[in-house]
Structure formats: structure tokens, C-alpha cells
């Protein structure tokens, strides 16, 4: 189990990078706690896999350093970093049995027979593969194979971190949930540092203690699922998390009054003078649909019923706005106004969240 520190870490695949665009990973400085479960979340190409490969040692960063428990491992070989990795598709040794697969890393390190037996047994129990221990690895289902991949990583007690590179990609949808649950349980039991790369927000939000949201090589926010939801630090985080994502509008802000393209809105915080592109962000969950005249007028386009709630697609000044209405509220044709709950309004300058002073 290790604390992972990134110090001024950046990476470019080009020989002599000049512009910012040449960097696939922009300079990062972060510390990740020992024993925590992190998710690296972001769209394809955001740099999460690159970051993972730098942590595992497959890639050497073009700049900066990475430390495990304050020991510089930037140039250390993968073998010496004591990490485990689970890949997008199951990597198992087809010609060996499950038992032999699990025992393999320990055998290579010259461990004693009884120790191997004991470790294999306890890991097999933890990942629930005891009944197939003596089956050949080649004939198993994809999810069983992924579990074996995982097991091989955990069988070493001194593993620093377990890295997952979109491991549920080849798993059937109904097994995804099952595996995620087992992973979470394993984490609770064994307390390894786990880093889980995914582009699926559900996976990230349900698995991790803290989620690292990335886009275009930048780390935008590291926070608990709660924090990401209520206080997105960047408009992209607001847009990416949540279904549908946050609504963002250009606005002017003066003190505690926001001018939302003509309509005045009272905020529950006050802000100093803001320079730059000013926007208001509000999640659909914080917008209330009300009768005409009681709030801001919007043009209702569609109402989608998704069982637990309804999503109302509307337009305000020709810009799309999404509203979530709880299922118990009936929507009548005369309800075409909205009220914005002040606690859900966030102010962004140049895409970044600005903290105001609470009134």
C-alpha cells in the first residue's frame, strides 16, 4: 500500500514539445492517499490512460517525477514498482489452471510452497473463484478471467497499488454491476490503493472514494462524488457528471445579483468584480418547474419520463435548458416557468468555479 505523489508531472509523445497542445498530460501536482480508491474519469483522449501507464511504469514521463511513499520511482522498471494492473481485456495464462495463474507471481519471486498455498487460497476466496481453481484458464468467461487477472495482482501482499485500465469494457452489462460490487468489497477488506480508469461516470462514482476528473490532459477536479455533484470546480465537470449534466449560461454578476440574459436572479452569495467570461451553472435537479408567471419563462420542448423522475427539455432565450422534475409532481400545460434554487447556482469565470461569500 503506498501513497502516490505526482510532482510537476507532464507528458508528451512528441520528441521536442513546444506548444501546450503537444502535451498529452499537462503539468500536475497531486498526492494520492495510501489505501484509497480513486477513479480517473474523463472522455476518450483526456490523458487518463497515459497517466495510468506512467504510474505503472510502462511509460516514462517526459517531465516531472512520480514517487511511491516518497521514493522516486520515475525511472524505475515496472517490475520494481510492485504494482498490479488489470487491463481492458482479460490477460490470463491460457495454458495454466486458475490456481497456477494465481500462484505464478509468487512462484517467480521464489516464495515457499505453503505460503503460496495459503495466499492462493485466501485470494481465491476473496474473488470467489474457489470452485474453478483447477480449471484451465482458457475456457472461462470474460468476467471470470478478469477476476483472475485481478487475483494475480492481489496475491502479492506487498503490492503498492492496483491499477485498473477500463477493466469492465469486455464484461456483459449484467455482470458489470456484480463485478463492481465485488471490487468495492475487496477494497474495503484489503485496503489496497486502487486506481480505476474509466469513461463511465456510473462506474467512477459508485466505485471510488475520490474521483479525478480529467479532460484534455488537465486534472480538473479531485473530490468525492458528492463534491463533484454539488460543487463542480469546472464547467466540464458539471457537464460530464450527472445525467443530464449541468446547465451553463452566460451571465453578468454584480455583488449578489446575477443578470441572466435579461432576467435578474438573486444569489445566496456575493461576489467581487469578475473579469473574464462569466457563466452561471445550475444542475437540472436544482431547477423547479412552476406555473406561468411565478418564475422565469421558458419554452418547453419535450417531457421525457424516466420512471424515477421526468426530464423537461426546454429553451430559454433559444438556449437549451434541462429541468428535472420529481415523479410525484404532475406537469400541466400551464407550467412553463422555472425557479432557480439559489443553493444550486455556481458562478464560473473562464470555466473555473469562483467562490463567493455566503450572505
Footprint of another protein (CB under 8 A): 13, 53, 56, 58-60, 77-79, 83-85, 87-89, 91, 93-96, 104-105, 108-109, 138-139, 149, 152-153
338 touches 288 (CB < 8 A)? yes
Secondary structure class of 164 (helix, strand, coil)? strand
Contacts of 326 (CB under 8 A, 6+ apart): 309
**Smaller CB separation from another protein, 52 or 314:** 52
CB of 183 to another protein, least distance (A): 18
CB of 243 to another protein, least distance (A): 30
34 touches 3 (CB < 8 A)? yes
Q: How is residue 123 written as a grid cell?
A: 485470494
CB of 34 to another protein, least distance (A): 20
CB of 15 to another protein, least distance (A): 10
**Smaller CB separation from another protein, 98 or 298:** 98
Contacts of 192 (CB under 8 A, 6+ apart): 1, 35, 154, 159, 161, 162
Integer-rounded Cα Rg, in Å, for the chain is 24
Q: How is residue 359 written as a grid cell?
A: 450572505
CB of 89 to another protein, least distance (A): 7
Task: Please give the DSSP secondary-structure letter assigned to residue 283.
Answer: -
Task: Please give the DSSP secondary-structure letter assigned to residue 331.
Answer: P
d(CA 210, CA 97): 36
Q: Which residue has the cell 468476467?
A: 143
CB of 290 to another protein, least distance (A): 49
Residue 323, Cβ neighbours under 10 Å: how many?
24
d(CA 4, CA 69): 6
CB of 217 to another protein, least distance (A): 15
Please state, in angstroms and as integers, the Cα–Cα distance from residue 153 to each residue in 6, 56, 158, 162, 292, following that order.
23, 12, 10, 7, 60
Q: How is residue 192 written as a grid cell?
A: 489496497
**Smaller CB separation from another protein, 152 or 310:** 152
Helix (H) or strand (E) holding 52, with range, is: helix 48-56
28 touches 200 (CB < 8 A)? no
**Smaller CB separation from another protein, 44 or 79:** 79
**Smaller CB separation from another protein, 14 or 359:** 14
**Smaller CB separation from another protein, 78 or 216:** 78
**Smaller CB separation from another protein, 136 or 231:** 136
CB of 84 to another protein, least distance (A): 6
CB of 104 to another protein, least distance (A): 6
**Smaller CB separation from another protein, 171 or 321:** 171
CB of 28 to another protein, least distance (A): 19
Secondary structure class of 231 (helix, strand, coil)? coil
**Smaller CB separation from another protein, 42 or 232:** 42
**Smaller CB separation from another protein, 43 or 45:** 45
CB-count exposure of residue 146 (10 Å: 0-12, 13-18, 19+): buried
Residues in the chain: 359
Amino acid at each position: 500500500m503506498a501513497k502516490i505523489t505526482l510532482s510537476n508531472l507532464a507528458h508528451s509523445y512528441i520528441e521536442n514539445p513546444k506548444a501546450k497542445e503537444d502535451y498529452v498530460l499537462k503539468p500536475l501536482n497531486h498526492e494520492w492517499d495510501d489505501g484509497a480508491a480513486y477513479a480517473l474519469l474523463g472522455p476518450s483522449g483526456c490523458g487518463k490512460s497515459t497517466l495510468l501507464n506512467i504510474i505503472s511504469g510502462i511509460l516514462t514521463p517526459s517531465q516531472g517525477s512520480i514517487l511511491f511513499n516518497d521514493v522516486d520511482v520515475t525511472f524505475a522498471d515496472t517490475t520494481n514498482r510492485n504494482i498490479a494492473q488489470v487491463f481492458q481485456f482479460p490477460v490470463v495464462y491460457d495454458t495454466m489452471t486458475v490456481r497456477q495463474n494465481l500462484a505464478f507471481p509468487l512462484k517467480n519471486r521464489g516464495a515457499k510452497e505453503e505460503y503460496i498455498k495459503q495466499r492462493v487460497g485466501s485470494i481465491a476466496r476473496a474473488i470467489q473463484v474457489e470452485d474453478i481453481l483447477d480449471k484451465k484458464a482458457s475456457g472461462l468467461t470474460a468476467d471470470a478471467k478478469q477476476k483472475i487477472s485481478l487475483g494475480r495482482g492481489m496475491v502479492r501482499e506487498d503490492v503498492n497499488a492496483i491499477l485498473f485500465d477500463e477493466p469492465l469494457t469486455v464484461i456483459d452489462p449484467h455482470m458489470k454491476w456484480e463485478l463492481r460490487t465485488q471490487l468495492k468489497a475487496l477494497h474495503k477488506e484489503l485496503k489496497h490503493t486502487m486506481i480505476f480508469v474509466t469513461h463511465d461516470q456510473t462506474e467512477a462514482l459508485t466505485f471510488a472514494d475520490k474521483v479525478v476528473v480529467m479532460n484534455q490532459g488537465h486534472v480538473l477536479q479531485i473530490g468525492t462524488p458528492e463534491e463533484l455533484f454539488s460543487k463542480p470546480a469546472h464547467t466540464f465537470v458539471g457537464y460530464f457528471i450527472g445525467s443530464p449534466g449541468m446547465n451553463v449560461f452566460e451571465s453578468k454578476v454584480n455583488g449578489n445579483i446575477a443578470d441572466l440574459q435579461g432576467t435578474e436572479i438573486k444569489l445566496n452569495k456575493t461576489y467581487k468584480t469578475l473579469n473574464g467570461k462569466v457563466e452561471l451553472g445550475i444542475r437540472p435537479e436544482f431547477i423547479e418547474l412552476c406555473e406561468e408567471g411565478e418564475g422565469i419563462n421558458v419554452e418547453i420542448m419535450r417531457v421525457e419520463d424516466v420512471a424515477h423522475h421526468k426530464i423537461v427539455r426546454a429553451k430559454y432565450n433559444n438556449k437549451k435548458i434541462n429541468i428535472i422534475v420529481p415523479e410525484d409532481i404532475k406537469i400541466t400545460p400551464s407550467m412553463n416557468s422555472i425557479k432557480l434554487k439559489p443553493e444550486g447556482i455556481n458562478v464560473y469565470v473562464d470555466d473555473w468555479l469562483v467562490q463567493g461569500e455566503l450572505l
